[in-house]
Each structure stands twice: as structure tokens, then as C-alpha cells.
Amino acid sequence: MANSDLSGIICASVTPITMQFSIDAGRLAMHCARLLSEGCSFVSTFGTTGEGASFSTNEKIAALQDLRDAGSDMSRQIPSVMTPSSDEAGRMIAEIAALGCRGALVLPPFYYASATEEGIVAFFETALERAGNPDIDILLYNIPQFTRITFTPSLVRKLVARFGAQIVGIKDSTGKLDSGVELAQGFPQLSVFTGDDRVLPNLLPQGGAGMIGGMPNVFSKDLRQLYEAPGADSSNALKANAATRIEAVDGNGALLALKATLAAIYDDAEWSRAMPPLMELAPERAKLVFDAIEATGFAVRPAA
């Protein structure tokens, strides 16, 4: 692949939030630095796990600028673009490029389920024109359970035909191995990532590039180890642990469970706060998550 650095474990970071329901850029910068130090190749801010649809473009741009000012390595950032407005998408892409980020992970325009493939290509074309056609790599964000639009092989072919090498990758958040394999084998020039820890070890030998997901917020070291040796006998325990952990998290609020877990690990209750309409995970559900995670040998709460 021309963009062979686009591989490995990419964390879809959670977003710490202040009491005034604004993005806490200081805590976010600290968290991003830890993720990179623990083996993540890149960090993707303001995606689904990062509550990206709950913040305005202005808020996200200001937070990215704050990350830059705090000394964050912006070349290891791949922020998400989550808006059905081509103008808003263009503004976000322009700033991502201006800040020197590695690329932009772009959601298709949601809401109108009747959108045609040609219409979606036109959305990307308009967004990039509004951005000033910057020299920035684009990764496609395939999460049809939220957007109602699927980046099918047919649609990906149309986008690659229109934008060429500017399309460099796909995040497949369907949770289905066959979907990731179809994209990886159909588009070997692209970096195809799964969003699911359980799919990761089976996708890698079939052309996958790694994963972009929320679980590295907590388990970046283990997932990096699984990425580096997915077929090793020693990886069996890692696979079992990854499955147990993601089932506990997804069954108890997903990103809310990750935030509660980080609040316990950092001993900082501020990490639990979510942006309305989401609400902080209830203590009894958080305990279920902690118990399941600690049963895999990972310490969440301080020892009594």
C-alpha cells in the first residue's frame, strides 16, 4: 500500500467533558498521549465513541486547535467528520488538513436513506470543494447501523474512481468479518480496519490493516500485542479476554461503559460525564462492567 503507515491499532478516543458540557481539551491531550505511548498507531477523535455527533463543528475545531497548542502530535491524529452537511464537513476537513493531521475519517451523509451512490459521491465532492480541495487523505467510515448508508464495494469503487489515491482506507464498523474481508480483498490498495476486537485477528491474515475502535481506550497494550501476533498460540488468551471485555462494554452502554472504566482507572470521576442526550452510566451497571473486566485479569479499581 502507498499509505503503509496506516495500520495497527487506532483508538477511537472517548471525549472528556467539563461540567459546562464542553470538550475538556486538557484531559483529552493527556489521554491521547497515553494511548500513543501504549502502542496505538494513531488516535481518532470525535467519532462514535468520542460522541462526535453531539458536538458542533466549531467545538471540535477549537478542541483540535487546543490539542495542537498543548503539544499533541497532530500527525498521529485522524479526526472523524460526522455531519450530513457538506458545508460543515468541508469546514472540518479544511481544519484537519491545516492542523497537519494524518487524515480524516469521514462518515457518509446520514438522514436521507434514499440517497443514491451518485449523490454520496457528490456529497464528498462538494465537501472537499468547500474545504478548498486540500491535500488530505480520506478514510471512509462504514457504520450503517447508525447512518443507514453502507459503503458497499460498488460505492467504494465510485469514490476511488472519482478521488483516486486520496481515498486511502475504510473503517468497517459492521462487526462482520465477511464485510471486512470483502473490502480488504476487493480494494488491496486501501487500509481496511475493523471496529471490532473479535474480528481483528481473523481480518489481518486476509488483508486487513488493523482496527479503529473504542476498546483501545482501556486495552491498547493487549490489542497491540494481538495485532502483532494474531495467529500465535499465546494470543488465544488475548482473544478470549478481548471477546469478554467487548461483550461487557457493549452490553452496558458502550462508550458510557468505557468512560466509567477510565474514571475508575484514572481515579477521576470527571471522565464518566457524557454529553446529553447520553447520561453517565449508573453505578450498578458500571460495577457489572468492572467485575467482567477484572475477571480477565485487568485491574480497574484500586486494590482494597
Q: What is the pLDDT at residue 282?
A: 96
Report which of 130, 124, 128, 134 is spatially closest to residue 101, judged by C-alpha positions: 134
Q: Phi and psi dihedrals of 117, rounded to 5? A: -60, -40
Q: What is the pLDDT at residue 158?
A: 98
Report which of 138, 142, 65, 128 is spatially closest to residue 104, judged by C-alpha positions: 138
Q: What is the pLDDT at residue 235?
A: 78
Q: What is the pLDDT at residue 51?
A: 98
Q: What is the pLDDT at residue 301?
A: 81
Q: What are the grid coordinates assigned to 159, written together?
A: 469514490
Report which of 217, 178, 210 is spatially closest to residue 195, judged by C-alpha positions: 210
Are the CB atoms for 23 and 246 separated by under 8 Å?
Answer: no
Report which of 87, 88, 83, 11 is spatially closest to residue 43, judged by C-alpha positions: 11
pLDDT tens digits, 40-53: 999 999 999 999 99
Angle between helix 153-163 and 177-186 (nearest 10):
30
Residue 217, Cβ neighbours under 10 Å: how many?
26
- State whether residue 179 is helix, strand or coil: helix
Active-site residue set: 141, 171
Q: What architecture is the 8-233 domain classified under in CATH?
A: Alpha-Beta Barrel (3.20)
Which bin fits 175, alpha (ψ -120 to 50), beta or left (φ > 0)?
left
Q: What is the pLDDT at residue 207?
A: 95
Q: Phi and psi dihedrals of 172, rounded to 5? A: -100, 105
List the beta bridge partners of residue 211.
Answer: 9, 194
Residues in the annotated binding site for pyruvate: 49, 212
Specify the pTM.
Answer: 0.95
Distance CA 180, CA 184 (A): 6
Q: Calculate the CA 151 to chain-centre distance.
A: 16
Q: What are the grid coordinates assigned to 59, written together?
A: 467545538
Domain boundaries, the chain: 8-233
Are the CB atoms for 11 and 195 separated by under 8 Å?
Answer: no
Which bin fits 274, alpha (ψ -120 to 50), beta or left (φ > 0)?
beta
Q: Beta 191-194 vs 42-44: how paired, if at all?
A: unpaired
Angle between helix 216-228 and 235-250 (nearest 10):
150
Q: What is the pLDDT at residue 153?
A: 97
List the beta bridge partners of residue 43.
Answer: 11, 77
pLDDT tens digits, 175-209: 999 999 999 999 999 999 999 999 999 999 999 99
Instruction: Give the residue ranges of the chain where pLDDT is below 70.
Output: 1-3, 233-234, 303-304
